[in-house]
Structure 1
Amino acid sequence: MHTQLMNETFQLLQAECSPKAGITLDIDRTEILDTESLLNSYDLAYERKVHLLALYTILSLATSRHKDCNPSDPNLTRKVLDGDYLYSLYIQLAVQFEEIDLISYLAPHIKKWQIRGAEGHSGVQLLATCLEQFLDLEFRRDTYTTTVEQVG
């Protein structure tokens, strides 16, 4: 199943991912639908949903590329370079989308995922949890700021 949000996200990623990188964006649509559902549970502008879903997708792909890195794997170099490229694309797009707070929040988690990924563990479920925690914190902060402004 493809939704408009998912289609726009995929178009954005196709446009931003350099063809020279030679990376196939093999995206788990079920995972993306779950993340889309999460984003739809918050009062976010549509464009921001596209941006956050794109950033989530890139991080998910980067994590999966770094997963199961075995020194004897003939594709090891390709996996590492693909993952590194996708992580750098995440930073580039997050800055472009002005999601600096997201970068700051996820940075320590991403480093842990990279280490765990090198050990053969998946960080994708953790990514969804961290995105939800980030949005919860952001909405709690916005609610607090609005309340203070109304009282003040």
Structure 2
Amino acid sequence: MDMKLLQDTIDLLRSHIDSGTDIDWMEMDNRPVRDIADMLNAYELAYSRKITVLACCILIHTALNKHGKLQAKDNERLTRLLLDGDYLTGLMYRIAVKRKEWKLLSRLLPFHKRMQLSLLKNVSPERILHELKREIHSYLEQRSA
């Protein structure tokens, strides 16, 4: 795995996360992120575009993890996890817009909606992340063709 790509992406995310959020956003299993980073390296894309795509995927993955930890018995924790997940999803869109990744957004918006509906149906996060990987692969195939 390209550790420089991952570190540069993490640095980008840190520079965009507002200081008052207090979100623990790097508490994730890195396997899906590594898979997508490896996939990105197989394509002829500008390095900055690879960072943007990976950043969006990290934010989706982390938001998914946050929403997956919801427990109805803990209202304060529930509220915090919902807000954290929503913030991270919004940040993904903000980064993509700021970096003018319109075509990436056009792929991620419908994916995000499908992800939310899948969560309501108790689809496993692993299955959703597999779909994210397929979506990014399809996006990369179209962008490099």
Q: What is the TM-score normalised by the length of structure 1?
A: 0.83
Code of the residue aligned with 1:33 in structure 2: it is: R
Structure 1 residue ranges, 4+ long, deviating more than 3 angstroms after superposition: none
State how 1:1-152 maps to structure 2 within 5 Å. Answer: 3-25=3-25, 26-74=27-75, 75-121=77-123, 122=125, 123-140=128-145
Gaps of 5+ in 1: 141-152
Partner of 1:144: none
| Number of aligned residue pairs | 140
Offset at residue 117 of structure 1 (A)? 1.9
For residues 108 and 73 of structure 1, what CA distance do their matches in structure 2 show? Answer: 30
Offset at residue 120 of structure 1 (A)? 3.2
Code of the residue aligned with 1:117 in structure 2: it is: L
Partner of 1:150: none
Contact 1:69–1:120 under 8 Å retained in 2: no
Partner of 1:143: none
For residues 76 and 125 of structure 1, what CA distance do their matches in structure 2 show? Answer: 26
Code of the residue aligned with 1:95 in structure 2: it is: V
Partner of 1:149: none
Alpha-carbon displacement from aligned partner over 1:56-82 (angstroms, at most 9, x marks no partner): 111111122122534324421111111
Gaps of 5+ in 2: none
Q: Residues 101 and 95 (structure 1 numbering): CA distance in 2 closer, same or farther, change over 3 Å?
A: same
Q: What fraction of aligned residue pairs are identical, expressed as a percent?
A: 30
Alpha-carbon displacement from aligned partner over 1:102-131 (angstroms, at most 9, x marks no partner): 111221221111122244332222111111
Contact 1:69–1:117 under 8 Å retained in 2: no
